Structure 1
Amino acid sequence: MDYEFKIKTAEQRAKVEDLFDYEGCKVGRGTYGHVYKARKKDATAGENREYALKQIEGTGLSMSACREIALLRELKHPNVINLQRVFLSHNDRKVWLLFDYAEHDLWHIIKYHRAAKASKKQVMVPKSMVKSLLYQILSGIHYLHSNWILHRDLKPANILVMGDGAERGRVKIADMGFARLFNSPLKPLADLDPVVVTFWYRAPELLLGARHYTKAIDIWAIGCIFAELLTSEPIFHCRQEDIKTSNPYHHDQLDRIFSVMGFPSDREWEDIKKMPEHHTLMKDFKKSSYQTCSLMKYMERHKLKPDSREFALLQRLLTMDPTKRVTSDQAMENVFFKEEPLPTDDVFAGCPIPYPKREFLTDDENDDKQSSDKQKSSFQNQQQAGGQNVQQHQNSGAGHQSGGPGQNQGGPGPSGPQAPGGSGGAGSSGDRGDHSGGPGGPNAAKRMRFAQGGQSGPDFGNHPGMHHNMNVYGQTGPPNHNQYGGHYQH
């Protein structure tokens, strides 16, 4: 390329530092770089729109990655985070991604309630809040699935919630396939950096070696999130050991799932025998060990009645056989969403938002390590103290926009010790959508070349002296699964 032309082009290229104020406003950091809260420098008087600037350090982008980013920018849905702009700095090979800024996320929201319960404090939230959160998550995923995009890494940290402003209380699903842009898409599932991988929300068919991602794996993850909203603890939390393996088979995670759900019978999951790791499964596990386990018993321990609408929908989301698992559109038509209180666009339903805003981080790069060391020490101490009867597991992962500095707030709940945590990582890697039904027919996937990829629950009755549309949503907490992902941790 002509040198003078190259210099002239560089001078004309928009520079993020010329357009936005973000210095000293870091709200997240992780494997790939940093996330900043930013405002436009040329904002007019009264314009206070906030943005999230995600800096990817030292990677550069391939042409295929650029094309995929361009496709991501075409995604337009109220419940999907919008990638507004990309800045490329050729001098230091940094990439900047610009998003709308989300003040909250489910990881922090659940953590807040867990801490409140531990300190016996009541948190006032709308009675419809969990229902509204779930409905908007399903709505966003239905849009992605309709466009043959799989998320592949849904978790509370990737579910953002907008703060005060034009989109107050609106859910935004984040991290659709960004890990694929910065990791080889050809790598097997478990061969990514362990910081990036989390198993807690991974569907059982993937743990048994399924070769392809399908829409059903996102549905399983939504079921896990729903259960976590109802109980304030991750339903399938598992230890982090053995995560550095190229084998997708993960014994401890399967054990945790069976300890909650029970071992699937041949009638419940007819094709389980076709799973690549079925032989290993039968060698490692005894069905009789899980005869007394069931989702109904687990949720009853958390005060959710088996005849409730919530439990009926949760069962359909957490169906072991992926071919029988409910779809996003079917779930949205569930009677749970058609009875009072109805879901609202503002999940806070106009009520005051009780959650604190994100804190700015310092540049002390040792903070994450110290936080991780403290969590590991706490984890070891609590292991010695014991836990509940069901074996407890933990794991750490990572994701896209939420997450945060790894504060150790919120005591552990009755279900076991705190998770050791870890620094944030990139989100899920992308993949081709499954070909089983869905809009567009079996060839629709080809048109889009990529696909992304507590003892007590909330009191759904009225609390004495409260507004009729309010309830107490404070739960005894689970292990403090700090830093297992998020848009603000990457």
Structure 2
Amino acid sequence: MVDYDYKVKCASERQKVEDEFEYEGCKVGRGTYGHVYKARRKNSDGREYALKQIEGTGISMSACREIALLRELKHPNVISLQKVFLSHSDRKVWLLFDYAEHDLWHIIKFHRAAKANKKPVNVPRNFVKSLLYQILDGIHYLHANWVLHRDLKPANILVMGEGPERGRVKIADMGFARLFNAPLKPLADLDPVVVTFWYRAPELLLGARHYTKAIDIWAIGCIFAELLTSEPIFHCRQEDIKTSNPYHHDQLDRIFNVMGFPQDKDWEDIKKMPEHPTLMKDFKKSSYVNCTLTKYMEKHKVHPDSKAFRLLQKLLTMDPTKRITSEQAMQDAYFMEDPSPCPDVFEGLPIPYPKREFITDDEPTNDNEKSDNASKATGGNDQSSSHGQPPAKRVRVMQPNTNNGTMVSNEYQRNVHGMPGNQGQQHSYSSTQSTQGTNSTVYGQTRF
């Protein structure tokens, strides 16, 4: 039994969120996970933080996993957990993160609205390429350390606003992440349904028991297509059903309408999928003979001969054993051609996206409100399909950059700094090396 005096001493020394931070009236999101606040330290260090208060009394298994993983993971493109606060009086748990002003869900939504209103948005020519490269870099780090994210979607890809990490991508929401190096049982037994609906790989929809890191790659392919077109590529109108059965007819139908029905020669192991008999009973191959990714992307002005399209094909390969890896994707010809990926995705240009708005507890909590205001500052989100996002279901060594002492990943130095046309020149993750002004284009109207 713990000594009473020792407990009192620990309680008196324990730091309290309300003593350390100003956050009242600065709520930027709420959902099933709890609430997220934009916060500043009371000692005014000038930095902005995201305080995620986990709902309920005590701490859930999902939060435990997220905390345990984030305490070990350190990479420029993975959200950084700064501190955990435990409030014993009301049994609340607070997670402190760096604050991200933007996320891909809001960015894509902004461009979709601009396109509908025929209002061009000026962004750097390599905006999409820089976003994709940094996503791949972060996922490669996770996969190299035997971590599956399992819930990649635009809402969980953050982009830092003004500040020392301006324009840097951060992968967030590790609540569904799992170590896969030595599972005691198949992950499918632990979590039959993972990955938010529209970003769920076909092998998951067909009930694969031993899925791999290829499920994250498929989700990245979906995000890449959405960045290129401003539309979710596998948008399924039916709501996600609350069931442990991974098979879903309408979502598979949407994939086949874009990709075509998978041929046995292209995916030999499809016959081994648990739901293959159901698939053959529910679908007719002849219904999808004229459906191809080429036709879909051409409708959105993405040329089939472009390097962007060829990389997209590799990311959205139906057979998971043939799907490209994150490391292979980072070395793809798409990233070798000019313009090269940039550590500041905005490249020093003015950021066109509005900042997050504060919300109040007396605002309505319908799906539209959740979509507009749910915080992705720390990856927690409740998104509505009516706004283009499906309903949520709920170590590599770093080495210092010798130019300025910042930490830069080995892959970033090898694949960006050493790219053809760069002559091996060094750039840090700081925005101070950004190109100004002329290297811009209109998002959604570039011919890739």
TM-score range with shorter-chain normalisation?
0.7 to 0.9
User: What is the Cα deviation at residue 61 of structure 1?
Assistant: 3.0
Identify the residue that residue 288 of structure 2 maps to in structure 1: 290
The verdict on how the C-alpha distance between 1:22 and 1:230 changes in structure 2, with shifts beyond 3 A counting, is same
Tell me how far apart the structure 2 counterparts of residues 154 and 370 of structure 1 sit (CA, whole Å). 21
What are the residue-to-residue correspondences of 1:402-413 with 2, within 5 Å?
none
Tell me how far apart the structure 2 counterparts of residues 283 and 359 of structure 1 sit (CA, whole Å). 49
Identify the residue that residue 420 of structure 2 maps to in structure 1: none
User: What is the Cα deviation at residue 246 of structure 1?
Assistant: 1.6
User: Aligned pair 1:472/2:442, yes or no?
Assistant: yes
Q: What SS does the aligned partner of 2:349 have? A: coil
TM-score by length of 2: 0.82
The answer to whether the 8 Å contact 1:127/1:470 transfers is yes
What are the residue-to-residue correspondences of 1:318-467 with 2, within 5 Å?
318-364=316-362, 367-369=364-366, 371=368, 401=378, 418=386, 426=394
> Paired residue for 1:174, among 153, 160, 172?
172
Identify the residue that residue 23 of structure 1 maps to in structure 2: 24
Tell me how far apart the structure 2 counterparts of residues 67 and 224 of structure 1 sit (CA, whole Å). 26
Tell me how far apart the structure 2 counterparts of residues 120 and 12 of structure 1 sit (CA, whole Å). 57
Tell me how far apart the structure 2 counterparts of residues 185 and 65 of structure 1 sit (CA, whole Å). 20
Q: What SS does the aligned partner of 2:199 have? A: coil
> Paired residue for 2:191, among 188, 192, 213?
188
Identify the residue that residue 184 of structure 2 maps to in structure 1: none
Q: Deviations over 1:209-233 (max 9, x none)?
A: 0113311000000000000000000
Q: Deviations over 1:118-176 (max 9, x none)?
A: 11111100001000000000000000000000100000000000001101000001012
The verdict on how the C-alpha distance between 1:176 and 1:295 changes in structure 2, with shifts beyond 3 A counting, is same
Tell me how far apart the structure 2 counterparts of residues 239 and 124 of structure 1 sit (CA, whole Å). 31
The answer to whether the 8 Å contact 2:240/2:391 transfers is no
Identify the residue that residue 39 of structure 2 maps to in structure 1: 38
Tell me how far apart the structure 2 counterparts of residues 339 and 374 of structure 1 sit (CA, whole Å). 36
Identify the residue that residue 204 of structure 2 maps to in structure 1: 206
What are the residue-to-residue correspondences of 1:93-242 with 2, within 5 Å?
93-177=91-175, 187-190=190-193, 198-241=196-239
Identify the residue that residue 408 of structure 2 maps to in structure 1: none
Q: Deviations over 1:420-472 (max 9, x none)?
A: 8687665xxxxxxxxxxx99xxxxxxxxxxxxxxxxxxxxxxxxxx9641111
The answer to whether the 8 Å contact 2:298/2:304 transfers is yes
Q: Which has the higher contact order (CA 8 A, sep 6+)?
A: 1
Tell me how far apart the structure 2 counterparts of residues 374 and 149 of structure 1 sit (CA, whole Å). 28
Residue ranges of structure 1 left out of the alignment (5+ in a row)? 376-396, 409-416, 427-437, 440-465, 476-490
User: What is the Cα deviation at residue 404 of structure 1?
Assistant: 7.2
Q: What SS does the aligned partner of 2:197 have? A: coil
Tell me how far apart the structure 2 counterparts of residues 285 and 308 of structure 1 sit (CA, whole Å). 32
Q: What SS does the aligned partner of 2:38 have? A: strand
TM-score by length of 1: 0.75
Q: Deviations over 1:175-220 (max 9, x none)?
A: 123588xxx9965333x8xxxx621000000000011331100000
Identify the residue that residue 459 of structure 1 maps to in structure 2: none
User: What is the Cα deviation at residue 84 of structure 1?
Assistant: 1.2
Q: Deviations over 1:307-356 (max 9, x none)?
A: 00000000000000000000000000001101101110000011110001
User: For this pair of structures, how many residues does the alignment match?
Assistant: 397
Residue ranges of structure 2 left out of the alignment (5+ in a row)? 179-186, 397-435
Identity of aligned residues (%): 73
Q: Give the alignment's Cα RMSD to 1 decimal.
A: 3.1
User: What is the Cα deviation at residue 39 of structure 1?
Assistant: 0.7
Identify the residue that residue 458 of structure 1 maps to in structure 2: none
Identify the residue that residue 427 of structure 2 maps to in structure 1: none
Identify the residue that residue 264 of structure 1 maps to in structure 2: 262
